[in-house]
Amino acid sequence: MYFDTTMAGFGGQGIMLIGNLFAYAAMEEGMQVTYMPTYGVEMRGGTANCTVVISDIIIGSPIVGHPMSVVVMNRPSLTRFGPTVKEGGLVVINESLVPDVLEDRPDLKQVRVPANDIAQKLGSDKMANMVILGAFLELAKVIRPQSVFDSFSHVLDERYHRLIPKNVEMINAGIEYAANNGGKS
């Protein structure tokens, strides 16, 4: 088994956190993992992306030129990373901030998730990253959501452990949305 993804957005959207959670959960499931974060020069509002590769054999390189999937939280990320996805790949788009899809890539499964809107209805649009992660987990079907839930206490700083139940709620909302709307692009 081999799977890779790039997750991208603005700094401050929690891109590194969801990539880290995905990677840690894959390790918990016994997979080989690479996690490669890339930051823009700005503290907040600059670009942020990470690449996660998971495999059941040793991974030769963390660098992925054409990922199997991308998760994008903003339009610049869709513009930059969307065209690089392999034919037949998956693009999960935060529809709250990116209302369109890649029109010139009908070969991709493109799923729009109103992540900020869902998170806002549940109490905090700052947790839109967890909603999009939940949708991604449901669509990609490579890591069990429970593995991600079990990873929170290892990935999050202890001072944020009180937020784990809310994060789980957000992920479950994303899973539910994708289960009901996964074929919609």
Q: Which residues contact 108 (CB under 8 A, 6 or more apart)?
A: 82, 85, 87, 88, 89, 90, 91, 102
pTM exceeds cut of 0.85: yes
Q: Per DSSP, which regions of 108-183 are E strands?
A: 109-113
DSSP per residue, 11-43:
TTS-HHHHHHHHHHHHHHTT-EEEEEEEE-SSS
pLDDT digits (tens, 9 = 90+) for 98-123: 988 888 889 999 999 999 999 999 99
Six-digit token pair at 121? 């209805």
pLDDT digits (tens, 9 = 90+) for 30-83: 999 999 998 766 556 677 999 999 999 998 888 888 999 999 999 999 999 999
Domain 2-181 has CATH 3.40.920.10: yes
Six-digit token pair at 79? 């513009």
